[in-house]
Structure formats: C-alpha cells, structure tokens
Amino acid sequence: MGRYVGRCIEGLLLQTRPVDEMIVVNDGSTDNTAEVASRYPVRIISHAHNRGLAATRNTGVRAATHEYVASIDADCVPRKNWLETLMASVQDLEVAGAGGKLVEVNRMSLPDRWRCLHIPQDLGDHLIRDAPFLSGHNTVYKKAALENVGLYNEKLLTNFEDLQISEKLRSKGFSLIYDPRAVVEHIRTDTIHSISRTWWRHHFYGVHNDISIRSTFGEVLKLVLREWPFLIRLDVRSHQRDCALISTVAIVYSVIADLKHLIKCHGQPKLYPEHTECREP
C-alpha cells in the first residue's frame, strides 16, 4: 500500500473538518508504507507481522484518543467534505456509525473494469438512515459503540469484518447511516491475478463454514455451476464481453484456492483459524 498511502493522507489533511489525530496502522507490510507515512504528521503503529484486517482496525480503535473513530483504507482518497459529512450523521444517540460512497477512479484496464462491474463497494446514490451494513473502506464510528460490542473479530483476516461489526452493532439496537454525499475515490489498480485473489477473498466459503471435503466440493460445484454463469451473463448484459476472460480466471483461481484450503485446514473451525498455516494461499 506504499504507493497509495501518501495520497490518502494528503486527502485527510485537506478536510473541511480538520482531523484531530491521524493514526496509520502498518500491518507488517514489506513495502515502503511506513517510510511514506513518516513524511506526514501522523502516528505510525506497526505490527511485527501481518495480523489481518480486523486486527488492524482494532489497533487503530484502541489507539484513538477521541470519542469518534474515522477509518479509511489506504487506497482511498477522501473528498474535502468527507469527514464533515459523516460526522454530521453520527450525532444522534442511537446512531453508532456512518459510511460513505466509494467512487472508482481507474476504469481503463480490463482488470479495473472487471472490478468496477463485479465488486461494487457502496450502497448507491441515496441516503439510507438504517443501513444494513457499512463497508469498511470509509466509516466514522463512535468508539464507545465499537467497544460495547467487543470490537472486530480478529479471526477475520481479509474480509467480512465490516459486515460482522455492522451486524453486532445492529443487534445491540444501534443504527447505521449510509450517506453518499461523503465520497472517497478508490485509486486502486489491479492485475488479473490481484483481482482474482480479491474476488475469492470476498466469497471465501471458509469464513462461514467448517472446511471439510463435503463443504469444499459443494462450494466448487456452486462456483462452476452458479457463480461462473452469473458472472458471464453480467459481462454480456453490460456489453463488456472481454471481461468474461477474467470471470473465467477468477473462478479457476477460486476453485484452486478452495482446494488448497481443504488440504491445509481440513476439519478446522469456521471463521479463519488463527494459526498461520490456515491463512489464505
């Protein structure tokens, strides 16, 4: 994330509602993320090794010293009124958090067009006052509300942490607000390999089910017989037939990744076991 984090921080420094403190959590990265971040007025907290997405979010929440905790992914650049808009949404007592809209900036290459088509990451163009969930890429939460539900589940290494924290907050009677006026620009670029890996992480069955021979082959059948035709139909209906190549590669990648997980993690409990041999291939 070293190639993105500088632009993200610069966007935060230009907010109409000034940021009270800025914390960069470096999750054991092996690139120049920490070196780039150190050029800016931020506090850097580094994990000794990669601990995963939920643990990274928890580190930031625990380190925050204010009542509200804003979170943004390193490959997102907020527009100037992003923080001001979300802060206005979380003032009601029953509201635990608010999230904004993600706009894809890079749409020219085939992998980037495929990401825009098949991995949308927002809830549309209309305000939702009781949103079912908030995507983790840009949010503001009340710190006390997150602490009330026990923070993020650190077994969730790469995904689903945002869905689960939303479910936990709503189960406690809190409301969530989605406000599309709070915009972040997604500056990520992908390769065929990276987008196939991302799609698999978004759909990995092992987050919800025990990893067994039966569940794995059931997932493989679902990928081949249901997900693949669905992806291809969307490519055709969207007049982007060339995206069918990546749809096919993504399915093949997911089948192989699921089989690798079966070999490594057969019989292990659901929700990403913490021992390292069951991390993603």
Per-residue pLDDT of the chain (281 residues; tens, 9 = 90+): 778 999 999 999 999 999 999 999 999 888 889 899 999 999 999 999 989 899 999 999 999 999 999 999 999 999 999 999 999 999 998 999 999 999 999 999 999 999 999 998 889 999 999 999 999 999 999 999 999 999 999 888 878 899 999 999 999 999 999 999 999 999 999 999 999 999 998 888 776 667 888 888 999 999 999 999 999 999 999 999 999 999 999 999 999 999 998 888 765 555 443 333 344 44
Residues 6+ apart with CB under 8 A from 174: 94, 95, 96, 97, 145
With contact defined as beta carbons under 8 Å apart, do 257 and 265 qualify?
Answer: no
What structural domains and CATH numbers belong to the chain? 2-186 (3.90.550.10), 192-278 (no CATH)
What pLDDT is stored for residue 107 in this prediction?
Answer: 93
What pLDDT is stored for residue 106 in this prediction?
Answer: 95
Alpha-carbon span 202 to 187, nearest angstrom = 19
Query: Which pTM value belongs to this model?
Result: 0.86
With contact defined as beta carbons under 8 Å apart, do 129 and 97 qualify?
Answer: no
Neighbours of 5 (CB within 10 A): 25
Pairing between β-strand 43-46 and β-strand 175-186 as defined by DSSP bridges: unpaired
What pLDDT is stored for residue 266 in this prediction?
Answer: 65
What pLDDT is stored for residue 270 in this prediction?
Answer: 52
Backbone angles phi, psi at 193, to 5 degrees: -65, -45
Instruction: Return the exposure string of 176-204: e unless at least 16 CB atoms fall within 10 Å of the residue's CB, then b.
Output: bbbbbbbbbbbbbbbebeebbbbbbbebb
Alpha-carbon span 155 to 262, nearest angstrom = 18
Which sign, positive or negative, has the C-alpha torsion 231, 233, 239, 244? positive
What pLDDT is stored for residue 122 in this prediction?
Answer: 84
